[in-house]
Amino acid sequence: MRLPAQCAIVLAGCLLPSVLVAQQRGVEIGLDGGLEYSFDAELLTIAAPFQRIRAAFPSGHRLAIEPSLSFTRLSSNGEWLATLIMRVGALYDLEDKGRSTFARPFAGIEYADASFGESETVFDLGAGIGTRTFIADQLAVRIEANLTGRFGAEGGTDGVIGATVGLSFFTR
């Protein structure tokens, strides 16, 4: 499976502006498990314990740039399917003090390769809303509900509804 060069360029471009700010305020690093339901494919995906890895780099008082990465490989009876999802979101804290309720619009690229068909790349656009509950000084449980639109090369659109539950570690 080849990683599209555009994915790496988009990810690097989104991360560079917030690296200096992240050194002052700290970074939120997390792992999430979750479920997604795709309407067109009528497919329910449950990923436990982890579906994605993410890191939120502060870019202002209430805003952070959050790239995430997910890789899945399924195989059965000699057939296989592998997907790579790279997304970049703008994590916005809805409360001025504390870091509990947030909104997260995001965009990304999904690349899928299968032994039984051609590879495919689709563009994602979506939004999520969620909450963080601190269980220790630098550790929180994060819950999010999200809605994603997948836009294929042939012009088709697929709607996906999802939810994630994960742990967040704060570096400061």
With beta carbons less than 8 A apart as the criterion, state whether 96 and 62 touch: yes
CA distances from 94 to 38, 99, 129 (A): 28, 8, 10
User: Which of 9-13, 38-42, 130-134 comes out lowest in average pLDDT?
Assistant: 9-13
User: What are the Cα distances from residue 57, in Å, to 68, 73, 76?
Assistant: 11, 28, 38
Q: What is the pLDDT of residue 91?
A: 96
**Secondary structure of 136-166 in the HEC alphabet?**
ECCEEEEEEEEEEEEECCCCCEEEEEEEEEE
Which one-letter amino acid corresponds to residue 20?
A: L
DSSP structural state of residue 171: -
pLDDT at 11: 54
Give tens-digit pLDDT for 64-115. 999 999 998 989 999 999 999 999 999 999 988 767 899 999 999 999 999 9
Rounded CA-CA distance 70/52 in Å is 4
Q: Of how many residues is the chain composed?
A: 172
Q: Which amino acid is at 38?
A: S
Set out the domains of the chain in order of their start, with CATH numbers: 5-170 (2.40.160.20)
Please, are residues 8 and 132 in contact by the beta-carbon 8 Å criterion? no
**CA 76 remoteness from chain centre:** 26
Between these two residues, 4 and 94, which has the higher pLDDT value?
Answer: 94
> What was the pLDDT predicted at 19?
47
Cβ-contact 114, 12 below 8 angstroms: no
